[in-house]
Amino acid sequence: MNKKHHPLKLNLNTNFCGLALTSPTMLLSGCVGFGEEYTRIEGFSNKDVGGIVLKGTTLEPRLGNANHRVYETPMGMLNAIGLQNPGCDQVINQILPSLDISETQFIANVCGSTIEDYAKVTEKFDDSMVAAIEINISCPNIKEGGVSFGNYPEMSAKVIAACRKKTKKPIIAKLSPNQTDIKENAKQCIEAGADALGVINTIMGMAIDVETREPIIANVQGGLSGPAIKPIALLKVKQVYEVAGPLGIPILGQGGIASSNDVLEFLIAGATAVGIGTALFYDPMICKKINTDLINYMDKHNINSIHEIIGSLKL
């Protein structure tokens, strides 16, 4: 039996691939820009989150897709932004110096259309203030006719291996759910040098305007996020944990998390940290609320550390 404690003395500190997090919650890539937008929200502090994953960044600037790029769905959201960003040089030289790295962990998100692109962007971020680098292997491979790197384990592993050669920072491989065997993909990414795994990226979907009979998203298809995908994401975390857990490889669980109960489910399934995304659009202060609820849960169940919850699923 754990020694009785006072809730005010509890904390949510956790370790994620060598990074000290003050909370298991992270803000997901694409949902908070490059971190500076949230400083405008009254009452928000970066100290409320364990880390912020910056917007997906490519080698050259990108304007992104044509409108419409975002569409609200029942219990979720479709997006096809098209990786709009100013390019890695602008991010590294202009944006990163404006961030207060003492408040939280900032993590780069690297995207590319070729393996060479991934490697070059990773190398540039290696010589920057980011704490880790997330590799978005769900991007299309233009040399393979637009086939996504993330849907094939061998291709995913090649991207991770190329990036591993270019950095000593922790690498997080962001896994796609749009594939046959996510466990095999996780295994090969780990063998290629990934220090952690992001599970999962968005699920491909679409929406149609019945009056015009045209796709609502200009790109036709987009990534579905939000509570609608949570049960799928939770299962994927459990499956990946079967591979990653015994090796001590942490998982950043993500997909429809919108409450402390959601967070707890993902931790129990095997996630070490969790990503909050779509929920931020309607409740920007949700992480502060989640942290309070997690502390209360730990006190109620006499739990001293978040690590006591991770991977505690009873089968």
**Catalytic annotation, residues:** 139
Crossing angle of helices 115-126 and 153-164, rounded to 10°: 30
CATH classification code of 7-56+86-203+223-308: 3.20.20.70
Its pTM stands at: 0.94
Q: 75-108 burial, b if ≥16 CB within 10 A, otherwise e?
A: ebbbbbbbbebbebeebbeebbeebeeebbbbbb
Q: pLDDT for 164-190, tens place per residue?
A: 999 999 999 999 998 889 999 999 999
Q: pLDDT for 266-311, tens place per residue?
A: 999 999 999 999 999 999 889 999 999 999 999 999 999 999 999 9
Higher pLDDT, 58 or 4: 58
pLDDT at 1 over 50: no
Q: pLDDT for 79-116, tens place per residue?
A: 999 899 999 999 999 999 999 888 899 999 999 999 99
Arithmetic mean of pLDDT over the chain: 92
Q: 174-211 burial, b if ≥16 CB within 10 A, otherwise e?
A: bbbbbbeebbbbbbbbbebbbbbbbbbbbbbbbbeeee
- What does the pLDDT average to over 192-205? 96
pLDDT at 245 over 80: yes
